[in-house]
Each structure stands twice: as C-alpha cells, then as structure tokens.
A and B are shown apart, each in its own frame.
Chain A
C-alpha cells in the first residue's frame, strides 16, 4: 500500500477503475476520518453517519467507471456526501433533540476511550483534553447547519471556497460569508463559555 502514498486521489481513482483495489483502499484510508467527521456533524447521529459513510463509499464504488478527473476527487466525494445528507434531512425533518444530545454524549464517551487507549495521559490531562474537545465540538454544533457545513468542509475537508460553492451550489461569496459568520459564531461561543480564547482579549 505504501506505493500509493504519494499518488493523488484522482490517480488512485483511475487505478481503481483499472481494477486495483489497493488504490481504492488508500483513498478510503485517506478520507475516512474527515468524511466521517463531516457526516457525524451534519447528521448529528453516529448511527446515521455510519450508514451515510457506507453509502457514500458504495456510490463511489458503483460509479467508479463514470468518474472522470475533471474536478478534484474530494469535491466529487463531498458532493455525494452532501446530497446524501440533504436526503436524510428531507426524510427526517422532525429532528429529535433528545436523541441528538444522547448521540453527542456517546460520541464524547467514545472519544474519551480512544484517548485512554492511545496515550499515557494523566487523568487530569485526559480530563483537560476531553473538556477542551467537548467545548470545541459543542461550539461547532452550535452553528447553523449552513455555517457548520462550510466550516467543516473548509477546515476538515480541505476544500477551497470555490469547491465548496460548487458542492453546495451556492455563489462563492455566500460560501465565504458563511465562513465568516461561522468564525464569528465560534468565537462568540468560546467567549461565552469563558475559556480557550481568554488570553486573546
């Protein structure tokens, strides 16, 4: 698999078109965390995000022959993911706030256990890390879905505003202003929570 580390997504996709499954596995490996993070934060539910994650990759697999590297692979992938989320929203308009909170608690617990497994942090450090992460996560989730989506695509997905505008089918200036409001909203949230940005003022 190491042979593929240097290859671009687009090239890997073409290799997969030719039948090289390892190229696809490299793509999966590269995007699993950011894509899943995007889905969890958009759908606000781990279980639904896992379904979505599977579905997005299955669609990529299914339409591999029609893929043409005319745009970046990530743009294509997030477009599929975005459409899937839109479908989900349509299907489940009546979002249940309680189950959402539950999902987020599970999420934090899950991540906590990941840290325990992965590091030798002291309980205090561990508590601090998870507390900070909890606040950041909550700040992101406090944004409107539109702002949150632009923020996540830009920060975690590494997409340009132009690409984001194409994925969401909005004018590029709208994408940028959503990003600006998102940063303002995040800042305000952290200030209200009284930490993290305190030294800045």
Chain B
C-alpha cells in the first residue's frame, strides 16, 4: 500500500467502515509510515474535540405543534388514501359493477343529439360554425374535438408510456407479478391504442368513482366552442358525431389532463410541452407536481432526449424521496444512463435499487447481468 491509497482510506478507518482485511493492510502501513500515521492521529484528535460540539434545541412550541399534527393525522386514517386498495380484488369487482351501470346510463343519456337547446347564443354559434365548416372545408374547427374522437378520453392516474426504449420485456412482467405493492405496474406495459380504446370507459368510471369528475362533462355534451386551428381536414380525423368534447383547458387540472391524454396516445411531444410549461408556473407544493415531474421524465425518455430525461429523473429522485414511484424512477434513470453509455452509473443505480427495494432486487440483478454481458 502506498501513502496515497492509505490517505484515501483514513476516513474509513476513523469511522470503522473498513473490512477486516483492508483494515489490517492499512494498519500495517500506518505502523511503518510516520507521515500517514501522524495524519491519522491528527484526524482522530480533531474528531475527538468536536464530540464536544453542542446541539441547539428547537423551541417547545414547534414540538407541541408537530405532536398535535401527528395526533390529528393518526385520528383521521381515512384521510390517507391507500393506493393499494386500487389493486384489491374487491375494489376491482366494485369498479366493474359501477362501470357496467355507468355504461348503460351513459348510452341512455346520450340520446340522438344531446342538449341541443342549451343556449340561444350557443345555437347561433353552432349554426355559424356549421356554415363555416361547409364553406371552408379544409379548415377544421375545434381540433381537440377531432383528436378526442380519434382517441377517447383517457384518464389520468396511470399514464401509458408505450415506447420506452426496450422496456424490459421480462422485468415489466415480473414487476406486475409483484402486484399491489406499488400500484403502478401497468405503467411499464406497452399498450396498443386498441386496448386503450377499450379501457376508456372503464377509466372514466374509475375516475368518477375517485370523486374527480372528468373535465366539464356537461360542457362537453353541450358542444362548447374550442379553439380555431387551421389544419388539413380529412374524413377520418373529423367524424360526424364526436363522442367527447371539451373546452380548451385553462385550469391547471385540465391542462394536466390533456397532457395525460396526449401521453396515452403517445403524443410525447405534446405532453412534454404541456408539462414543461405548466411546471414552470406550478407552485412548489402543488399536489400535482410530483406526478407532472415524473410524467415529464417519461415523455423525455420517449422523445429520446436522454440527457434531459436524466436531469429530470435525478431531480425527481432528489425532490421526492418519499414518492411511491421512486423505484420506477430509479429504474428509468438506470436505463437512461445505460442508453447514454454511462454503464458504471447504470450499474450503480441498479445496485442501489437492489439494496433499497428487496422486491425489485431480482429485476435489478437481471439488468445488471445484462449489462455485464454487453
């Protein structure tokens, strides 16, 4: 052992973080090298002096306040929403039942031409619009409507990133096997548009169940005006009876909803734009923020903007250590490192997952093995 090696390990020795073998080697060097041994003695002495450093005390008022908050929280367990419940079989059955009823009611409610008689102004507007679209032909109004028709409303909690670069065919499946643990397992799965289409009503029912009504359903039915956009019109992109309509989203919630819809139809660029923009103006403790940050990272990965995705994921991991999706973020981050050729960092991240998430250890190990094999 040379002095450089020794000096690098002195801190480990000082805090007892050396393996017995390395410790013996280091001590052998110390007994032979007066320079290193003096340095070590100095470190020990310094450390000893600072054991006398005092710790200031927080005020009792603050502590009382914290205790009161802890008490209050413990008394209201219902206020803590348990995501795991979403994956309980009983819950799934309930959702199916509600869904079935919901679909029937929805179909009955739709009727031939819903709520035409809403407002006289609205009526006028619709007439004018009809006229315009007949005259102008190639100009499409309310493109949101058209997009919506292509890709019905998709909720919300689970964005559906499909084209994650080689998203662990094996790992994805086994994550799912772990079931109910993290609640996001659908997340990694690729979804075709068709499955999304089929699931759309289910998602809507689920959303209503969660007490979060879809954006302005009423106004959607009334067919309020949206934005004007000039775009080539094609038959298939503008069906005659669009099923969902909604107003241009101005509220934050609505913007995020639009972004999630964009993700569901794999419009990564669109979703990324909305997330980047809304995150800029979103207050720090806005409850939607973690979700938006995470989804932005997913968009960036799918856009193959790996350096940006890396920054975003690192930020997410740093800012939300208590997030239930931390393991997912770490997996993505490792993947992004690997895609950029930063194999060591990728390995370190998988290693970290292995240590922190015993349930994910096998997936992480598989990834590590794959990296070793490269």
A126 within 8 A of B: no
Smallest Cβ distance from B322 to chain A, in angstroms? 4
Closest B residue to A91 using CB positions: B284
Bound Cα distance from A24 to B358, whole angstroms: 25
Question: Is A34 a contact partner of B318 (Cβ separation < 8 A)?
Answer: no
Question: Is B321 a contact partner of A58 (Cβ separation < 8 A)?
Answer: no
Interface members, chain A 109-158 (any B CB < 8 Å): 110-111, 114, 132-133, 136-137, 139-140, 154-156
Stretch from A2-10, A92-100, A180-188 contacting the other chain: A180-188
Question: Is B67 a contact partner of A25 (Cβ separation < 8 A)?
Answer: yes
Closest A residue to B70 using CB positions: A24
Question: Is A71 a contact partner of B55 (Cβ separation < 8 A)?
Answer: no
Question: Is A186 a contact partner of B56 (Cβ separation < 8 A)?
Answer: no
Closest B residue to A37 using CB positions: B55
Residues of A within 8 A of B356 (CB): 70-71
Question: Is B70 a contact partner of A32 (Cβ separation < 8 A)?
Answer: no
Interface members, chain B 1-29 (any A CB < 8 Å): 7-8, 10-12, 15, 17
Residues of B within 8 A of A139 (CB): 50
Question: Is A160 a contact partner of B318 (Cβ separation < 8 A)?
Answer: no
Question: Is B57 a contact partner of A33 (Cβ separation < 8 A)?
Answer: yes
Do A137 and B53 form a contact, CB below 8 Å, given A59-B322, A86-B318? yes
Smallest Cβ distance from B95 to chain A, in angstroms? 22
Bound Cα distance from A76 to B162, whole angstroms: 32
Do A16 and B55 form a contact, CB below 8 Å, given A83-B318, A183-B46? no
Q: Which of B50, B52, B65, B74 contacts A54 (CB 8 A)?
A: B65
Q: Number of residues in A with C-beta < 8 Å to the partner?
A: 66
A101 within 8 A of B: no
Q: Which of B47, B63, B80 contacts A28 (CB 8 A)?
A: B63
Residues of B within 8 A of A192 (CB): none
Interface members, chain B 197-251 (any A CB < 8 Å): none
Q: Which of B58, B67, B82, B314 contacts A36 (CB 8 A)?
A: B58
Question: Is B74 a contact partner of A32 (Cβ separation < 8 A)?
Answer: no
Residues of A within 8 A of B7 (CB): 180
Task: Convert A29-65 into 0s and 1s, putting 1 for each residue whose CB lies closer than 8 angstroms to a CB of B.
Answer: 0001110110010000010011001100111011111
Question: Is B322 a contact partner of A76 (Cβ separation < 8 A)?
Answer: yes
Majority-rule SS of A interface residues: helix
Do A36 and B284 form a contact, CB below 8 Å, given A58-B69, A176-B11? no
Do A155 and B319 form a contact, CB below 8 Å, given A32-B58, A61-B69, A161-B15? no
Residues of B within 8 A of A180 (CB): 7, 10-11, 43
Question: Is B321 a contact partner of A83 (Cβ separation < 8 A)?
Answer: yes
Question: Is A161 a contact partner of B17 (Cβ separation < 8 A)?
Answer: yes
Q: Which of B46, B66, B69, B317 contacts A186 (CB 8 A)?
A: B46
Bound Cα distance from A70 to B43, whole angstroms: 33
Residues of B within 8 A of A173 (CB): 8
Majority-rule SS of B interface residues: helix
Q: Which of A62, A70, A79, A179 contacts B73 (CB 8 A)?
A: A62
Q: Number of residues in B with C-beta < 8 Å to the partner?
A: 51
Residues of B within 8 A of A176 (CB): 8, 11-12
Residues of B within 8 A of A61 (CB): 66, 69-70, 73
Closest A residue to B66 using CB positions: A57
Do A114 and B57 form a contact, CB below 8 Å, given A67-B322, A70-B356, A197-B45? yes
Residues of A within 8 A of B10 (CB): 180
Bound Cα distance from A145 to B80, whole angstroms: 36
Smallest Cβ distance from A72 to chain B, in angstroms? 11
Question: Is A110 a contact partner of B71 (Cβ separation < 8 A)?
Answer: no
Question: Is A136 a contact partner of B58 (Cβ separation < 8 A)?
Answer: no
Closest A residue to B75 using CB positions: A19
Question: Is A166 a contact partner of B69 (Cβ separation < 8 A)?
Answer: no
Bound Cα distance from A154 to B16, whole angstroms: 12
Q: Which of A16, A49, A110, A136 contacts B70 (CB 8 A)?
A: A16
Bound Cα distance from A59 to B53, whole angstroms: 28
Instruction: Among B17, B59, B321, B358, find the residue whose CB has the most chain A CB atoms closer than 10 A.
Output: B321
Residues of A within 8 A of B136 (CB): none
Residues of A within 8 A of B11 (CB): 161, 176-177, 179-180, 183
Closest A residue to B59 using CB positions: A50
Bound Cα distance from A151 to B202, whole angstroms: 53
Do A197 and B56 form a contact, CB below 8 Å, given A54-B65, A64-B73, A83-B321? no
Question: Is B73 a contact partner of A133 (Cβ separation < 8 A)?
Answer: no
The list of the 9 closest CB pairs from A to B, nearest first, reads A37-B55, A63-B322, A33-B55, A79-B321, A36-B58, A57-B66, A187-B46, A24-B70, A65-B80
Q: Which residues of B contact A (CB under 8 A)?
A: 7-8, 10-12, 15, 17, 41-43, 45-47, 49-59, 62-63, 65-67, 69-71, 73-74, 77, 80, 82, 284, 314, 317-319, 321-324, 348, 352, 356-358
Q: Apart from A21-B71, A87-B284, what are 7 other A-B pairs with CB-CB below 8 Å? A: A21-B70, A24-B67, A28-B67, A70-B357, A160-B15, A169-B317, A200-B45
Q: Which residues of A contact B (CB under 8 A)?
A: 16, 19-21, 24-25, 28, 32-34, 36-37, 40, 46, 49-50, 53-54, 57-59, 61-67, 70-71, 76, 79-80, 83, 86-87, 107, 110-111, 114, 132-133, 136-137, 139-140, 154-156, 160-161, 166, 169, 171, 173, 176-177, 179-180, 183, 186-187, 190, 196-197, 200
